[in-house]
Amino acid sequence: MNSVGEACTELKREYDQCFNRWFAEKFLKGDSSGDPCGQLFKRYQLCVQKAIKEKDIPIEGLEFMGPSKGKTENSS
């Protein structure tokens, strides 16, 4: 599947490959340490954000997951 921005498709492919490799070779074998794909994800995320702005895609009402999103105040 291509990315929302044509210029982001290669970054998406690189991130997907990195994540899938980490998931299969590390996470599923019990090693959840480290974040080998974090920098790739950040680059891809910035590219997508730029493409959304350039294409003037309305995103009002959408919430994006971030470090503090998805957690309730009472969860620890």
pLDDT in tens, the chain (76 residues): 778 778 899 999 999 999 999 999 999 999 988 889 999 999 999 999 898 888 887 777 666 655 555 444 444 4
Dihedral-angle region of residue 75 (phi above 0 means left; psi in -120 to 50 means alpha; beta otherwise): beta
Which backbone phi and psi does 18 adopt, to 5 degrees? Answer: -65, -50
Whole-structure pTM value: 0.69
